[in-house]
């Protein structure tokens, strides 16, 4: 696995216009994932949504791996780590989908966008040389303040009187995602990135399928264009096209340079939620997206500095 230095020596300020547009497009696609989840949940409950999404995604990533000639069969020494990742992945996605069922797309997109903040916290303890500097701590504080504003004011949406339960579950999922990303980073030191992504989904799909069959029923009378489009977007666009575009960028530039565009995700998520779901832009939503976006930018901009 390449180090960040070798993966791309081009600093943030010297990226070409085409690269900037592509990076913004990828993170905008991820912002739309919140809207896609909300649309799919109209007919497909949380576990069914996860099962269908990653069934499609497995096909996309497997085709990409075949195109690149990447061997997909794990080595014997890799199985335990991949199973652990798959279990972690299943819990994180399950919490996210259940949380989205009980909160709005705009609030969910803001909270899920905080995952790089948790990744930075975990990296401080797990990754040698990846320390929390003053600027990163300020960024973390600003982003957490934005998340707190959103959660504490979301009770009327989630059906709770003080702290929104759905928003809390989404925020917990974001925390687990940050931890999972840090763990995945350790795995990538010894495994190909495509194999890691594929097998975390392969291991999780049976978990989602069994959970769905045991506890959920598809609302067939609501199955239509919008829920199906939501599933296809999650599986094909986010996990398929989004993954391939991100891989393309990561091969040419450092990870920190590309992830410095994470602040785009909550902005696009809120805008798409307003346009497609009819969410209202309230003061706490504006404050949340501004604070989280600023915090993400401060953390990632520091990482991307030459």
**pLDDT of the chain, 306 residues: tens digit per residue:** 444 444 444 555 567 788 888 888 888 888 899 999 999 999 999 999 999 999 999 999 999 888 888 888 888 888 999 999 999 999 999 999 999 998 889 889 888 888 877 877 776 676 656 667 777 788 888 888 888 888 776 655 544 444 478 888 999 999 998 888 778 777 877 888 888 889 999 999 999 999 999 999 999 999 999 999 999 999 999 887 887 777 677 667 655 666 667 778 888 999 999 999 998 888 888 888 888 888 887 876 655 554
Q: Is residue 5 part of a domain?
A: no
Q: Is residue 2 part of a domain?
A: no
Q: Is residue 9 part of a domain?
A: no
pLDDT at site 230: 96
Asked if 297 and 263 touch (Cβ cutoff 8 Å), the reply is: yes
How many structural domains does the chain have?
Answer: 1
Closest residue by Cα to residue 199 from 75, 72, 91: 72
In 10 A of CB 235, how many CB atoms?
22
- Cβ neighbours of residue 262 closer than 8 Å, sequence gap 6 or more: 27, 113, 116, 296, 297, 300
- Cβ neighbours of residue 179 closer than 8 Å, sequence gap 6 or more: 88, 118, 119, 122
Task: Give the separation between CA 192 and CA 202, rounded to whole angstroms.
Answer: 16
Q: Is residue 1 part of a domain?
A: no
Task: Give the separation between CA 196 and CA 220, rounded to whole angstroms.
Answer: 34
pLDDT at site 4: 41
Domain that holds residue 51: 15-70+81-304
pLDDT at site 16: 78
- Cβ neighbours of residue 290 closer than 8 Å, sequence gap 6 or more: 146
Q: Is residue 120 part of a domain?
A: yes
- 93 token code pair: 């996605």
Task: Give the separation between CA 14 and CA 165, rounded to whole angstroms.
Answer: 43
pLDDT at site 251: 62
Q: Is residue 101 part of a domain?
A: yes
pLDDT at site 301: 65
Q: Is residue 246 part of a domain?
A: yes
């Amino acid at each position: 696995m390449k180090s960040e230095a070798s993966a791309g020596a081009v600093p943030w300020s010297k990226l070409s216009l085409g690269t900037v547009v592509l990076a913004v497009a990828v993170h905008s696609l991820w912002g739309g994932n919140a809207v896609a989840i909300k649309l799919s949940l109209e007919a497909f409950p949380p576990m069914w949504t996860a099962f269908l999404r990653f069934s499609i995604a497995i096909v996309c990533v497997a085709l990409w791996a075949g195109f690149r000639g990447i061997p997909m069969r794990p080595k014997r020494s890799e199985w335990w780590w991949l199973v652990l990742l798959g279990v972690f992945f299943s819990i994180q996605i399950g919490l996210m989908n259940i949380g989205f069922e009980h909160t709005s797309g705009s609030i969910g997109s803001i909270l899920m966008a905080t995952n790089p903040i948790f990744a930075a916290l975990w990296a401080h303890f797990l990754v040698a040389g990846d320390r929390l500097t003053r600027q990163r701590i300020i960024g973390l504080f600003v982003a957490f303040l934005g998340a707190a504003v959103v959660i504490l004011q979301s009770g009327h949406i989630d059906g709770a009187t003080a702290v929104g339960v759905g928003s809390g579950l989404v925020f917990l999922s974001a925390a687990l995602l940050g931890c999972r990303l840090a763990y995945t980073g350790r795995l990538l030191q010894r495994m190909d990135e495509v194999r890691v992504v594929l097998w975390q989904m392969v291991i999780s799909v049976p978990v989602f399928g069994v959970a769905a069959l045991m506890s959920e029923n598809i609302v067939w009378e609501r199955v239509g264009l919008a829920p199906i489009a939501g599933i296809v977007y999650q599986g094909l666009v986010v996990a398929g096209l989004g993954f391939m575009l991100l891989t393309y960028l990561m091969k040419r530039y450092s990870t920190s340079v590309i992830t410095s565009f994470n602040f785009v995700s909550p902005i696009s998520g809120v805008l798409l939620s307003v346009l497609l779901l009819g969410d209202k832009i309230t003061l706490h939503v504006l404050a949340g997206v501004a604070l989280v976006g600023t915090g993400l930018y401060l953390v990632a901009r520091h990482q991307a500095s030459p």
